[in-house]
Structure 1
């Protein structure tokens, strides 16, 4: 006896991938996520490959995972995929201290973020 399967939260033409515990602030991660929102998956991969931001490597890895999920788990056409959502959430914050002058200490925050990418298969408009 096992639990019944949970209903799928996404429509049949979408696939999702989540990257958690990314060691970057959510604000910086959102700058890279803005690059790929609404773009075709192939164009988004090309943009991330040539981005100079350090976190673009992890975003590209998450996007490739979403594309692989769409192809292998949901039988979607890879060439017709569009990044429909790329949203960023806050994770934990590590707190560290550094010595300052006159015997005081200063706080250092080391934030983590998480990234959710949803790709959708769109039908090409026949013209």
Structure 2
């Protein structure tokens, strides 16, 4: 008597990868995520490899994980994959501070964010 299999959270032609606790603000991460939305997977990987932003390496790792999930878990063709969705969410915020002049306290916030990437298999038209 085993439990029923969990239903898939994405469609049959999709795969997903999620990264939590990325040490950057969601606003900065969304700039990199917007750069790859809707592009073919190999094009997105090359753009992330040559991007100068620090967080683009973590986004590239997440995209590679989504590609590996599509290939190994869902038997999708890697050459036909497109970044269907790439969205960013807030996570926790560390609050730090620094003493300032006249007994004041300078607030320093260190935000974390999370990234979800979905890749979809799209057949090319002739």
**Cα-to-partner distance string for 1:13-65 (whole Å, 9 max, x where unaligned):** 00000010000000000000010000000000000000000000000000000
What is the number of equivalent residue pairs in this alignment? 126
Could you tell me which runs of 5 or more consecutive residues in structure 2 were left unpaired when the two chains were aligned.
Answer: none
Aligned partner of 1:31 in structure 2 is 31
Q: Normalization by structure 2: what TM-score?
A: 0.98
How far apart, CA to CA, are the structure 2 residues paired with 1:76 and 1:3?
Answer: 27
Instruction: Using the TM superposition, give the Cα deviation of residue 96 of structure 1 relative to its aligned residue in structure 2, in angstroms.
Output: 0.3
Q: Could you tell me which residue of structure 2 aligns to residue 116 of structure 1? A: 116
2:13 aligns to what? 13
Secondary structure of 2:7 counterpart: coil
Q: What TM-score results when the alignment is normalised by the length of structure 1? A: 0.97
Quote the residue 1:49 is aligned against. 49
Offset, 1:3: 2.9
Structure 1 residue ranges without an equivalent (≥5): none
**How far apart are the structure 2 equivalents of 1:98 and 1:4?**
53
Aligned-partner SS, 1:48: helix
